[in-house]
Amino acid sequence: MSTTTVKQLTGEERFRNIISHAKEYGFIFQSSEIYDGLSAVYDYGQMGVELKKNLREYWWKAMVQLNENIVGIDAAIFMHPTTWKASGHVDAFNDPLIDNKDSKKRYRADVLIEDHVAKIEGKINKEVEKARARFADFDEAMFRSTNARVLENQQKIDQINTLFKDAMEANDLEGVRQLIIDLEITCAVSGTRNWTDVRQFNLMFSTQLGSVTEDSSTIYLRPETAQGIFVNFLNVQKTGRMKIPFGIAQTGKAFRNEIVARQFIFRMREFEQMEMQFFVKPGTELDWYEQWKATRMAWHRSLGFPESRYRFHDHIKLAHYANAACDIEFEFPFGFKELEGIHSRTDFDLRNHEQFSGRKQQYFDPEENENYIPYVVETSIGLDRLFLATLSEAYTEEVLEDGSTRTVLRIPAFLAPYKVAVLPLVKKDGLPEKARDIMNRLKLDHLCLYEEKDSIGKRYRRMDAIGTPLCVTVDHQTLEDGMVTVRDRDTMVQERIAIESLAAKLQDKVSLQRQLLCLI
Ligand code: GAP
């Protein structure tokens, strides 16, 4: 086996390379690119759609197939407008915005402040790195708690965070503007501090239902899939004879008019969520919350990425409807960011739907012999963020023993877009026909790729670049002894095996069942 070295890239280089790789190999394209694109909207290409489908399927099977008390639905994107009044989105789903009067550029006030804090954090990190390089027996915790410059900067950060949090809690938008001015934050385009007032901006997209001239009414593109689950709670409970505790899962598009759209598919205006609402008896919700935290973290870890890439971030300031909440954060190339949210949402949503619709949203508990509005624990993950996490972790640039380089996507084999490539060594002598014959045997069970163009080495590199776990090469010897070469994407090891053993070998390599077994 040849030895390889993984190229060390900075987070920024890595992220840039991942974005261009995603485009070059048909994973992600900018939306309507021929018209110069649409900001924060992306299309999934021929490879991307497969990886996304496989990620969605893994989530769905882990949630619905492995749990007898969870069922799925597929609610419409459009919902009655009162839904969003009841959920609180019409009144409170806002971002604070501020414009620079000189450049006319619009910013999210909280992001301006966050970026300022990040700069101060950068200074602290530099101090730490300098000291680490200087002292062999460096103790980071000790250094952070004693170094004067670090302490001073940490104090600044704490003070800014408190001022911002207090102003937002009091809906004191003038206070937020004053903080931006006091911190001397400038516009990145004009370089000036000529700021407008801060105002709240609702993130929901609206449109008209029906003809505009006649009885049209304003409806919204859903900003979360969860409400489709809440309004169907009793439909599912009754028709499915579900007993509490039980869950309803759903995957689907959600839409938010994000003002600061950046970091590729991390923050999009149209994205996909995979959500599950778990309905429980009041008083038991915090136990279930802990259980779902552990279950979801175990699911993430089952993907096989390093444990150090994940952490919980508990919400200190809770939304008014929650009595516990946390994020599962993932270390993207641009740092730790939210990948999934787990929220104990109390009975807020069902109670409000009961009030706004005038229809009871209660469950009769036969064991307790009483009616109640269930409490809800929600798990909510963005499929596009999961896709980005997978791509970020899989993307590897390697220098091989002979000095050549290869880019390989080490996507977990069961998630790979194509599971196997079948490659005739040359385009003649009956090899393509034999390869097609093998392909026909495998393609009933797996997505396979047939490729005869270019040298075999180039084809292997291309398969590495799209993350195909196995390549099967058909050569002249195959016609005589019925054996093929199987090459492994990760190790590049090649072995000769009989065509009859191929299906079993492939199934073993990409088995979703074995993966699911780890979760039971
Ligand atoms: N129902 C709860 C809810 O929607 P959220 O924290 O606003 O909670 C849940 O969103 C998840 O949806 C996030 O953890 C993230 O993965 C994903 N998400 C949210 N906004 C997104 C955006 N603009 N682009 C991509 N994913 C997004």
Query: If you measure from the C-alpha of residue 325 to the centroid of ligand 1, how many angstroms do you get, rounded to a whole number?
Result: 14
- Closest atom of ligand 1 relative to the 223 alpha carbon: 4
Question: CA 300 → CA 30, 104, 165, 324, 339, distances in Å?
Answer: 28, 42, 31, 21, 10
- Closest atom of ligand 1 relative to the 341 alpha carbon: 14
Q: What is the pLDDT along the chain (520 residues), one digit of tens a residue?
A: 557 899 988 889 999 999 999 999 999 999 999 999 999 999 999 999 999 999 999 999 999 999 999 999 999 999 999 999 999 999 989 889 999 999 999 899 998 998 899 899 889 988 888 888 888 888 888 898 899 999 999 999 999 989 998 898 888 999 999 999 999 999 999 999 999 999 999 999 999 987 766 666 889 999 999 999 999 999 999 999 999 999 999 999 999 999 877 799 999 999 999 999 999 999 999 999 999 999 999 999 999 999 999 999 998 777 778 999 999 999 999 999 999 999 999 999 999 999 999 999 999 999 999 999 999 999 999 999 999 999 999 999 999 988 999 999 999 999 999 999 999 999 999 999 999 999 999 999 999 999 999 999 999 999 999 999 999 999 999 999 999 999 999 999 999 999 999 999 999 999 999 999 999 8
Q: Is 464 touching ligand 1 by the criterion CB < 6 Å?
A: no
pLDDT at site 46: 98
All structural domains of the chain with their residue ranges: 4-88+204-393, 97-202, 412-517
Q: Is 382 touching ligand 1 by the criterion CB < 6 Å?
A: yes
Q: Is 384 touching ligand 1 by the criterion CB < 6 Å?
A: yes
- The answer to whether the beta carbons of residues 415 and 389 sit under 8 Å apart is no
Q: Is 381 touching ligand 1 by the criterion CB < 6 Å?
A: yes
Residue whose CA is closest, atom 22 of ligand 1? Answer: 267
pLDDT at site 398: 95
Query: Which residues face 273 on adjacent strands?
Result: 252, 382
Q: Is 273 touching ligand 1 by the criterion CB < 6 Å?
A: yes
Cα R_g (the chain), whole angstroms: 27
Written as six digits, the tokens of 64 are: 């619905």
Query: If you measure from the C-alpha of residue 353 to the centroid of ligand 1, how many angstroms do you get, rounded to a whole number?
Result: 22
Q: Which of 519, 220, 237 is nearest to 376 (CA)?
A: 237
- For 244, the 3-state DSSP assignment is coil
pLDDT at site 2: 57
User: DSSP characters for 21-59?
Assistant: HHHHTTSEEETTGGGT--TT-EEE-HHHHHHHHHHHHHH
Phi, psi for 248 (deg, rounded to 5): -125, 130
- Closest atom of ligand 1 relative to the 340 alpha carbon: 14
According to CATH, the topology of domain 4-88+204-393 is BirA Bifunctional Protein; domain 2 (3.30.930)
Strand extents, DSSP E, 386-442: 395-400, 405-409, 420-424
Displacement of CA 12 from its chain's centroid (Å): 19
pLDDT at site 216: 66
pLDDT at site 137: 86
pLDDT at site 488: 98
Q: Is 347 touching ligand 1 by the criterion CB < 6 Å?
A: no
pTM across the whole model: 0.90
Q: Is 228 touching ligand 1 by the criterion CB < 6 Å?
A: no
d(CA 316, CA 73): 32
Q: Is 309 touching ligand 1 by the criterion CB < 6 Å?
A: no
Written as six digits, the tokens of 32 are: 């309507």
Displacement of CA 130 from its chain's centroid (Å): 34
pLDDT at site 260: 73
pLDDT at site 213: 60
* Residue 133 φ/ψ region, left for φ over 0, alpha for ψ in the -120 to 50 degree band, beta for the rest: alpha
- For 88, the 3-state DSSP assignment is coil
Helices 383-394 and 11-24 cross at an angle (nearest 10°) of 110
Written as six digits, the tokens of 127 are: 């101090």
d(CA 283, CA 285): 6
Neighbours of 31 (CB within 10 A): 16
pLDDT at site 449: 97
> Span 412-517: which CATH code?
3.40.50.800
Q: Is 256 touching ligand 1 by the criterion CB < 6 Å?
A: yes
Residue whose CA is closest, atom 17 of ligand 1? Answer: 382
- Architecture of the domain defined by 97-202: 2-Layer Sandwich (3.30)
Q: Is 385 touching ligand 1 by the criterion CB < 6 Å?
A: yes
